Chain A
């Protein structure tokens, strides 16, 4: 029932799959290497992964960062220079880091740390939010890559 070509194909597929797992599941991409390093190293920026500078096309699409705290009017800040912004929400102070045209929550007083684990926002339209501290940040740009179906 199985021809020789079938067997060859099967063997190739079975060999290629583990390689694919190995390739795609190895945390080589700094963006996704957040689980282990970030949870343990809250506040110490040295161990944090770097934002990737190679993401050029993406980095120029974002032109600003909108920071929204609770029901107050949103503030829009430019993405240069690289810096850390302290914002105070209902439960404490969150730190937002802006570097290389990208932004993220560096630290937050919230229990879940969902905002911090969201990682770097790289593309216009991307958003990270901290519900306990009622802060959200979003990259702005003329041509957002993401829309409502994003997450």
Chain B
């Protein structure tokens, strides 16, 4: 039996592979603060979103979480659940952001929204399922600050990549 794949499927697979690679490389570096991570793999999500649309971006993002967790050995662990909830929230907000009329958001806006949604969603799940302790909320603004910072940086990188690609193809 052979599964028919379209060019789009293959493109998604390539891009997801790239995102997974970045995801795993990043997990090899120790984080200065627990819970804070640059999330550079999301650069790929944003580039894909801008060039190929939301559907491809959602695929790439979810495939990254799934395969990344299988490769890192965190599949179905709390880490995986947190990662998944963050990814689901961020692609959800990206879908909403894409509906904005007019010129809408650029890469930085998308990345920032995705990062904030990722952190907020993940945090809520962590609080509801794992650490239902009121003091946890003290950490929330700190994590959001990191999300703001890294989201902006990722967005700038994603914008730069998109620009250069456009220059290459034209």
**Chain A positions near chain B (C-beta within 8 angstroms):** 1-6, 9-10, 13-14, 17, 20-21, 24-25, 29, 31-32, 145-146, 149-150
What are 30 A-B interface contacts by the 8 Å CB criterion? A1-B106, A1-B108, A1-B159, A1-B163, A3-B104, A3-B106, A3-B109, A4-B103, A5-B104, A5-B105, A5-B109, A6-B105, A6-B108, A6-B109, A9-B109, A10-B109, A10-B152, A13-B112, A17-B141, A17-B145, A20-B140, A21-B141, A24-B137, A24-B140, A25-B141, A31-B134, A32-B134, A32-B138, A145-B132, A146-B132
Contact of B33 with A by CB under 8 A: no
A9 touches B144 (CB 8 A): no
Residues of B within 8 A of A14 (CB): 148
Instruction: Tell me if B's interface is mostly helix, strand, loop or mixed.
Output: helix
Bound CA–CA A2/B109 (angstroms): 8
Closest Cβ of chain B to A71, distance in Å, is 30
A1 and B132 contact, Cβ closer than 8 Å, known pairs A20-B141, A21-B141: no
Query: What 0/1 pattern do residues 103 to 132 of B give for CB contact below 8 A with A?
Result: 111111100110010000000000000111
- In angstroms, Cα B140 to Cα A10, docked, is 18
| New A-B pairs, 15, CB < 8 Å, besides A1-B163, A3-B106, A25-B138 | A1-B106, A5-B105, A10-B108, A10-B109, A10-B112, A13-B116, A17-B141, A20-B141, A24-B137, A24-B140, A25-B141, A32-B134, A146-B132, A150-B131, A150-B133
Count residues of B near A (Cβ-Cβ below 8 Å): 29
Given known contacts A9-B112, A10-B152, A13-B116, A3 and B141 CB-to-CB distance under 8 angstroms: no
Chain B, residue nearest A22 (CB): B141
Task: Report A16 CB to chain B, min CB distance, Å.
Answer: 9
Q: What residue of chain A has the Cβ atom nearest to residue B148's Cβ?
A: A13
Interface of chain A, helix or strand or loop or mixed? helix
Which residues of chain A come closer than 8 Å to B102, judged between CB atoms?
5
Contact B113 A17 (CB under 8 A): no
> What's the least CB distance linking B24 to chain A, in Å?
26
Identity of the chain A residue whose Cβ is nearest the Cβ of B145 in the assembled complex:
A17
- Which B residues touch A2, using CB under 8 A? 106, 108-109
B125 to chain A, nearest CB (A): 14
Chain A min CB distance to B121 (Å): 16
Chain A hits for B108, CB < 8 A:
1-2, 6, 10
